[in-house]
Amino acid sequence: MQVTETLSEGLKREFRVVLPATELEERLTSELATLKDRVKINGFRPGKVPVAHLRRLYGRSVMAEVVQNAVAEAERKIVDDHQLKLANQPRFEFPEDKDEMEKALDAKTDLAFKVAVEVLPTFELVDLSDVKVTKPVFRVPDAEVEEGLERLSKQNRPFESKGEDAAAETGDRVVVDFVGSIDGVEFEGGKGEEVPVEIGSGSFIPGFEEQLTGAKKGEERTLAVTFPETYPAAHLAGKDASFAVTVKDVLAPGEVTIDDAFATNFGMESLDAMRDAMRGALQRDYDGVARRKLKKVLLDALDERYSFELPPTLLDQEFQGVWQQVLSDLQRAGKTFEDEGTSEDKAKDEYRRIAERRVRLGLVLARIGETADVKVSDDEVTQALIERARQYPGQERQVWEFYQKNPQALAELRAPLFEEKVVDHILSQVTVEETEVSKEALLADFEDEAKGEAEEAAGEKA
């Protein structure tokens, strides 16, 4: 096998690989000789089948394996001899001339093919000791803990029927059957039976709950509502609809006393223990927001300090993934770029910059993690898989088996774990200053920050 580099331009490399006809013949003969001892053919004793006969029967299929093995060998040779770190899978180009390819498969002429690869950029890791980042800190006040307990008690309070002639009021639970229609035509997902509706909870589309005020058991009503423009189902967003409702019962909420007995219903030893658990849960949520904001600031600092050429194919793949999601979101919302105050070209430029940032940060985080020997243990991946399976009640086994059988999917679980460990490593190298902030300040622009983090997903591309 002869391998010759024909192009070295930026991160692109191309090689010409030649397998002489004599080598093809040798490899084919060797494989057929091995096959002779394994196959059983009528009329021949085991191991006594002539190689010429085997060649007539299996020559082409065996030669296909020879070529496949040669391709894999060429890839390994290119990587090892030139000490390359590939950015993606190599691209192989074989002769387009059918007759030439046929002759090569018959070992009557040399087989020449091209291998095109893109390599990862080389760059020096910068000193981050001068980087200062601020971590917002919000301590959960006692009042918010009590509010959390109040919400929990409200969600778990008992309801009792108010009787035949009692009218529904705000706070009551009305059990209804309903059928929704638009322009007189019933729509998918617009039908329900024995559905509890708590008036004033804001759980249903605007206007639905309010129009049940004053309803009595056995009463039939038609509710006129308008789906919000931002409704997830695009075919319903912004549409006027009517719901034919039959009231099955009207229930009034009972009282719940927040005490030790209430706490024991949730498996807590006491009300104080429940308060501690509530405080911890709330604090973890706020700490998660603070972590995401801190991470965003840290990634911004990294982005400012690194600039290098990106593998074109890797960048294009990243952009295509981002862009398809953008188009899908617009279609689902029934909107256009003009509705968003931009044009398709401007949006493409914006999201290409996002793709560039994601790829660049992904490469930086990967390099930092590699240099620092950051590892994700199998136990940590298993725990992440357990958490993922729990997100699909009733389908845990199928989810588990899917990931176990798909290494790529399992790698996608490992990637964010790796990313967070690398971020922790970087945070240990920079100066982190904690600043007490209000709840409003912590949550300010949180949706934008969350979107930015989703746009990064840097480590997942590492």
User: Which comes out higher in pLDDT, residue 56 or 373?
Assistant: 373
- The kind and range of the H/E element at 385 are helix 378-390
Q: Where are the alpha helices (DSSP H) in 37-118?
A: 51-82, 98-105
Q: Return d(Cα 361, Cα 302) in angstroms, integer.
A: 7
For residue 376, the tally of other CB atoms under 10 A from its CB is 18
Tens digit of pLDDT for each residue in 399-452?
999 999 998 899 999 999 999 999 999 999 999 999 999 999 999 875 454 444
pLDDT at 456 over 50: no
The closest alpha carbon to 247, from 300, 197, 308, belongs to 197
Average pLDDT over every residue of 131-160:
93
For residue 143, the tally of other CB atoms under 10 A from its CB is 8
Q: How high is the pLDDT of residue 102? A: 85
User: Tokens in use for 288?
Assistant: 């998660």
The closest alpha carbon to 243, from 186, 196, 188, 198, belongs to 186
Please indicate, yes or no, whether the overall pTM of this predicted structure exceeds 0.85: no
Annotate 201-223 with b (16+ C-beta within 10 A) or e (fewer). Answer: eeebbeebbebbeebbbebeeeb
Tens digit of pLDDT for each residue in 155-204?
888 999 998 889 999 999 999 999 999 999 999 888 999 999 999 988 89
Could you tell me the CA-to-CA distances from 48 to 31, 41, 43, 225 in Å, in that order? 15, 10, 10, 84
Q: How high is the pLDDT of residue 28? A: 85
Q: How high is the pLDDT of residue 403? A: 92
Q: Return d(Cα 273, Cα 282) in angstroms, integer.
A: 14
Q: How many helices (H) and strands (E) does the chain have?
A: 13, 11
Q: Return d(Cα 363, Cα 119) in angstroms, integer.
A: 12
Q: What percentage of the chain has pLDDT greater than the value 70?
A: 94
CB 168 within 8 A of CB 212: yes
Average pLDDT over every residue of 18-25:
90
CB 309 within 8 A of CB 121: yes
Domains and CATH numbers, the chain: 2-118 (3.30.70.1050), 158-253 (3.10.50.40), 286-461 (1.10.3120.10)
Q: Return d(Cα 17, Cα 294) in angstroms, integer.
A: 49
Q: How high is the pLDDT of residue 47? A: 66
Q: How high is the pLDDT of residue 394? A: 83
Angle, vertex CA 423, rays to CA 417 and CA 425, nearest 5: 105
| Pairing mode of beta strands 220-226, 240-253 | antiparallel
Across all residues in the chain, what is the average pLDDT? 89
